[in-house]
């Protein structure tokens, strides 16, 4: 008994509180940035597992409350460490986007949408597995004739979201 409350009740209140905080973190967790030494994504599950194992220990085993708390704290530490190592760290390191870097488009073939004048800019369409995007384009080096709409160009360089291209020919020889 702590402050007149049985330990089962305290464990239950902590478990309910952890559930409410977990739901709050699940919904609003991306808004807050927890980069401090104490990460709530580890503390809340530790408290929840300690409470859960404490309830079971108090209910089914005839051990002292201190021993039940130490055992539940130790088991919770192991569970949270494994959860962090095998679930949270890989999720943090995974990419959540299928976007492609513009550097990946260099050296690829594109289709001209708006003709590229000899001294000016046009527009090209770059197709990929994730879809197609359009970018403004200009020639990488001076050309003798412009590429009409529907023609193909080779992307040499991308600088400031502008593609520098040359006309594409099957054989460059």
CA gyration radius, the chain: 30
Q: Rounded CA gap, 13 and 130, in Å?
A: 48
Instruction: Please state which architecture CATH assigns to domain 102-167.
Output: Beta Barrel (2.40)
Mean pLDDT over the full length of the chain: 84
Q: Rounded CA gap, 163 and 173, in Å?
A: 23
Q: Rounded CA gap, 151 and 167, in Å?
A: 8
DSSP H helical ranges for the chain: 7-28, 40-60, 65-83, 89-93
Q: Determine the pLDDT at residue 37.
A: 65
Measure Cα distances from 86 to 19, 25, 89 in Å.
22, 20, 7
Give the domain ranges of the chain.
7-96, 102-167
Please give the model's pTM, rounded to 2 decimal places: 0.52
Pairing mode of beta strands 162-167, 152-159 = antiparallel
Question: CA 77: distance to chain centroid?
Answer: 26
Residue partners of 142: CB distance under 8 A and separation at least 6: 118
pLDDT tens profile 133-159: 889 999 998 888 888 888 999 999 988
Q: Determine the pLDDT at residue 110.
A: 92
Q: Determine the pLDDT at residue 4.
A: 75
pLDDT tens profile 84-125: 888 877 776 665 555 667 777 888 899 999 998 888 899 999
Q: Determine the pLDDT at residue 105.
A: 82
């Amino acid at each position: 008994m702590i402050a007149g409350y049985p330990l089962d009740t305290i464990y239950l209140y902590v478990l309910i509180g952890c559930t409410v905080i977990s739901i709050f973190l699940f919904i609003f967790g991306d808004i807050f940035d927890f980069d401090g030494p104490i990460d709530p994504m580890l503390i809340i599950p530790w408290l929840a597992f300690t409470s859960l194992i404490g309830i079971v220990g108090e209910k089914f085993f005839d051990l002292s409350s201190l021993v039940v708390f130490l055992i539940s704290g130790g088991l919770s530490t192991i569970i949270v460490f494994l959860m962090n190592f095998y679930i949270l760290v890989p999720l943090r390191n995974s990419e959540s986007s299928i976007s492609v870097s513009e550097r990946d488009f260099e050296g690829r073939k594109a289709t001209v949408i708006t003709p590229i004048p000899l001294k000016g800019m046009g527009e090209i369409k770059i197709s990929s597995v994730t879809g197609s995007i359009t970018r403004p384009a200009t020639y990488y080096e001076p050309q003798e004739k412009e590429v009409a709409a529907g023609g193909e160009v080779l992307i040499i360089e991308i600088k400031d979201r502008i593609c520098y291209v040359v006309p594409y020919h099957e054989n460059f020889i």
